[in-house]
Chain A
Amino acid sequence: MPDFSSVRRRIFAPQARDGALRMAIWAAAGILFACAAWLMLDVAVRGAAGLDWRFLVDEPARAGRAGGIGPILVSTGLILAVAIAVAAPLGLAAAIFLAEFLPSGSRFAAWTSISLDVLAGIPSIVFGLFGNAFFSVWLGMGFSILSGGLTLACMILPLLIRTAEHGLRMVPDEWRHGAAALGMSRFSSVWRIVLPAAGPAVTAGLLLGLGRATAETAALVFTSGYVDRMPSSLLDSGRALSLHIYDLAMNVAGGDRNAYASALVLLLFLIVVNGLAMSFSDYLLRKRIAA
């Protein structure tokens, strides 16, 4: 057995470099793990201390220092409902048009694609500015759940369209051709065959959008407002959970305990939503590998 090690040492970088790189990679992974674990444990431990069933249903008292988050959960739910109710049908319709009706390579497709990419990159605070100027002031909705929900709808729209469009394009053409050969109209082939087949992908996108909207704070500061009472209509101002956390942490001395409890609620909800989204897209992946 000839000895190559001397050759190797001359031609390739020294072993020391490899060792250092290996250590750096393990160290980076370890540090990220440590920080993430620190963050999660901190929220879990301090949040659990203030969290019970009463907290979820009670009205906030003394600017949120005491009491619970009942009305805030209701407002959050309403804001999300508005956002999804507007963005989901609009996004799905746009995705169907882009994936099924528009010839790819057309100028409109190119323009839409650029505009959606740009829209997806706009900072959320700018969505907040826009929402304030357009929905709250120009359309006269004021600080309201409606205004906040519509702002969030604009924000998650690119995500919904992209995921749905991607899901639709993954559906094999054979089924479209099969449906056309049976004399089915284009729309019924989409409605009866393609869309159900893309269902998991569309659902995953919807859940991701829901998660994104739930996590959002900056876009809501001056659209849905701060009022922490139980909303009586969609035109009432309503405080979102994320905004409540911000307010307690920054503006209310002694609000830590409830800020943490609210943060835990938010985090748990997001884990469920994002986990569901993941399981839908994993399901898709498995199916594609199996096929």
Chain B
Amino acid sequence: MTLGPKDEAAGEGAAGYTVGPMLAGPECCTPEPVIGVRGLAVSYAGVPALKHVDLDIYKGCVTALIGPSGCGKSTFLSSLNRLTDLVAGCRVAGRIEVDGVDIHGPDVDVQALRRKVGMIFQKPNPFPLSIHRNLDMPLREHGVRSRDERESRIRAALSDVGLWEEVADRLDEPALSLSGGQQQRLCIARALVLQPSILLMDEPCSALDPLSAETVEKMIVGLRGRYTVVVVTHNLAQARRIANFAAFFWVRDRAGALIEFDTCQRLFEAPAHDLTAAYVTGRSG
């Protein structure tokens, strides 16, 4: 088992799991935008939830979205893979480019977009199928015919999230029989198995016990470099530990707005905006 240079963190995870080959690579957080958001505004049934958001997400970096409840972080995240399409009455305006392509363009294949931009939800949502089938089914749906390839990708994804050793001998058991932390890692594996380049995570640790949360957190660190990660978190300490960049959202004029975006270190240590300063030092929010 090869360990990449930046994988110590993952390697000594709470559960002491092994790391699969997908993670083995140099960290390459480069300030090269893969997602460009310009003038994004989202409203639900005519009520604005987010206004005037301009933001670049950089390749291979972890970007943390922070801010008080209801400021539109989840909304922002789900507009990136157009999951907002599923919400009746939700309108999205503005331009979002992923890899230079406007995701609202006329020829865009939403399914291909979502395959490239994986998402992990706050509450683990494994399908009511077996563990194996949870990973196998999306692959089949995306036309991966070769059984060998599916098996090897499943195994790699499970190893990446440190589940392989825990579940290798019970892959046919229902996924819902796993513990909460295991379910969440299974969901991450389910996203990874499609080999996305971008991962959106909406408070992935907040429904988990501290130990599982730590495991998942270490795993995210391990993903850095290989994947572009956008993660919403209410845990500021966690944001500082895992993120390269941070974006601070706040409710302004009854709608969420992006207040400040910077490298994680600067946003926390030398925020440019008073609101940010107040929030990160715990004086508000």
Contacts and interface: CB of A to CB of B under 8 A. Distances in A.
7 contacts: A176-B86, A177-B86, A177-B125, A181-B114, A183-B111, A188-B141, A192-B141
Given A180-B83, A192-B137, A185 B191 contact: no
B141 A181 contact: no
Nearest to A105: B88
A104 B88 contact: yes
Given A182-B114, A182-B115, A183-B113, A175 B127 contact: yes
The 6 A-B residue pairs whose C-beta atoms are closest, nearest first, are A183-B114, A183-B115, A181-B119, A174-B125, A183-B111, A178-B125
A287 B138 CA distance: 26
Interface string B68-100: 000000000000010100101000000000000
Interface residues of A, number: 21
A183 B121 contact: no
B73 to A, nearest CB: 16
A193 B133 CA distance: 11
Given A196-B128, A197-B128, A181 B111 contact: no
Contact of B138 (A104, A175, A182, A196): A182
Contact of A180 (B114, B142, B190): B114
Contacts of B10: none
Given A181-B119, A183-B111, A183-B114, A175 B86 contact: no
B112 interface: yes
B127 A183 contact: no
Nearest to B127: A193
A172 B121 CA distance: 14
B86 A180 contact: yes
Interface in A139-198: 172, 174-185, 188, 192-193, 196-197
Contact of A183 (B125, B126, B187, B194): B194
A183 B88 CA distance: 19
Of A180, A193, A196, most buried by chain B (CB within 10 Å of CB) is A180
A275 interface: no
Contacts of A179: 127
B120 to A, nearest CB: 8
Contact of B125 (A105, A175, A196): A175
Interface in B122-144: 123, 125-129, 137-138, 141-142
A178 B127 contact: yes
A98 to B, nearest CB: 14
A123 interface: no
Residue among B118, B119, B142 with the most chain A CB within 10 A?
Answer: B119
A210 B141 CA distance: 34
A180 B88 CA distance: 15
Given A178-B190, A182-B114, A185-B141, 14 more contacts: A103-B88, A105-B88, A174-B121, A176-B86, A177-B121, A178-B121, A178-B125, A178-B187, A180-B83, A182-B191, A183-B114, A192-B127, A192-B141, A193-B129
A197 B85 CA distance: 23
Contacts of B126: 178
Contacts of A103: 88
B80 to A, nearest CB: 11
Interface string B167-190: 000000000000000000001001
B194 A181 contact: no
Contacts of A182: 114-115, 118, 138, 141, 190-191, 194
A50 to B, nearest CB: 48
A104 B45 CA distance: 13
A188 B123 CA distance: 22
Which of A177, A182, A193 neighbours the largest number of chain B CB atoms within 10 Å of its CB? A182
Nearest to A191: B141
B83 A181 contact: yes
A174 B123 contact: yes
A284 B110 CA distance: 34
Interface in A183-235: 183-185, 188, 192-193, 196-197
Contact of A181 (B112, B118, B137, B142): B118
